[in-house]
């Protein structure tokens, strides 16, 4: 029987002799309940581990100076690629470091390595960038200031500031265009958006939340990945795995006692990949003063695999309504943009 093993250690990482940031390392053995029927670890499980490491390091940093105590809340996850599958029995090594701080936010870079404990072989499976904001323990609606970090080079701070401004703008734009909802359709045709769209309803309990009563970002991401996986499996009816996650934006906190609806719909298919939009809506049923609201949103990309683990062609999506056709073209644009970016990166390597 596999057992859970975690090792947490705090260390100071030095760059060029300057104290640049704090580091956090987490280890965990992958168990059968972490994986799908083919033995591949769920993308949501990995996302949850990534967020846990990010939350630990950012909360520690934000409380590193005397002042009002706080907890770091996840605001955004940048695009995350799943570079290699992780399997049952392998050990996940998750390392995190702070790479930039603004007045009210922390940027954390996280790498995930998988280790075959029989051979000792390690491989990089994920690289992710997360943004956190410090919330006061006295009032979780109050955002506190972040202690600055010391950079070894001025360019590091300038590059970090550019990343901060870019993600801030994109997060606001995403929130503005997230007003629509996923509606069920009776007797949908195969390969249409309605045929595979799925929803999950979840009552937020104490085990989902921080000690301060709002949901862990990693819990939300795991539920989002589950719904996206159901959509992908319904569409192609094969083994599917998470290939990448576009930026996940957390628009508002989800509190204990809320009922959340996680909805997924397919937006685009290429020859071998599927893009799925996932929306998280919260309904504070025990608080009549607050209305139903959009809490998070993201795009997940999945691929279809054979029993031997080889990539399979994906049935092409048939958009029917004008909105579906519009979302299809937007998804195609994101796909082509990322494809060009990957090709440019490959060509630039020696």
Catalytic residues: 36, 225
Closest CA to 228 of 335, 300, 317: 300
Three-state DSSP state, 231: helix
Taking a C-beta distance cutoff of 8 angstroms, is the pair 93, 49 a contact? no
Task: Give buried/exposed letters for 23-35 (b at 16+ CB in 10 A, else e).
Answer: bbbbbbbbeeebb
Token digits for 149? 């970090």
Residue with tokens 């719904």: 227
- The SS3 of residue 158 is helix
In terms of phi and psi (left: phi > 0; alpha: psi -120 to 50; beta: otherwise), the region of 213 is: left
Rounded-to-integer distance, Cα 226 and Cα 280, Å: 12
Contact indicator for 297, 278 with CB cutoff of 8 Å = yes
């Amino acid at each position: 029987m596999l057992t859970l093993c975690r090792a947490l250690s705090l260390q100071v990482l030095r760059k060029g002799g300057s104290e640049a940031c704090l580091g956090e390392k987490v280890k965990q053995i992958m168990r059968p309940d972490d994986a799908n029927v083919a033995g591949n670890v769920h993308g949501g499980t990995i996302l949850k581990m990534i967020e846990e490491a990010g939350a630990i390091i950012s909360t520690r940093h934000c409380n590193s100076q005397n002042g009002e105590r706080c907890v770091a809340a996840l605001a955004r996850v940048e695009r995350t690629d799943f570079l290699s599958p992780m399997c049952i029995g392998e050990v996940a090594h998750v390392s995190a470091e702070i790479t930039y701080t603004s007045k009210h936010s922390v940027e954390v870079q996280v790498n995930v390595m998988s280790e075959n404990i029989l051979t000792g072989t390690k491989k990089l499976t994920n690289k992710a960038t997360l943004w956190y904001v410090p919330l006061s323990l006295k009032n979780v609606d109050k955002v506190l200031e972040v202690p600055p970090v010391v950079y070894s080079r001025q360019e590091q701070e300038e590059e970090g500031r550019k990343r901060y401004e870019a993600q801030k703008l994109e997060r606001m734009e995403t929130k503005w265009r997230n007003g629509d909802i996923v509606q069920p359709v009776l007797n949908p045709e195969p390969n249409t958006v309605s045929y595979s769209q799925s929803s999950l309803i979840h009552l937020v309990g104490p085990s989902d939340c921080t000690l301060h009563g709002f949901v862990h970002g990693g819990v939300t991401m795991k539920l989002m990945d589950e719904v996206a996986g159901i959509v992908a499996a319904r569409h192609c009816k094969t083994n599917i795995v998470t290939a990448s996650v576009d930026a996940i934006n957390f628009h508002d906190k989800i509190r204990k006692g809320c009922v959340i609806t996680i909805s997924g719909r397919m937006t685009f298919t290429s020859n071998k990949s599927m893009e799925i939009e996932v929306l998280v809506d919260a309904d504070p049923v025990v608080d009549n003063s607050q209305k139903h609201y959009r809490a998070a949103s993201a795009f997940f990309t999945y691929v279809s695999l054979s029993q031997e683990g080889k990539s399979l062609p994906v049935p092409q999506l048939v958009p029917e309504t004008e909105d579906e056709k519009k979302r299809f073209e937007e998804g195609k644009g994101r796909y082509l943009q990322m494809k060009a970016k990957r090709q440019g990166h490959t060509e630039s390597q020696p």
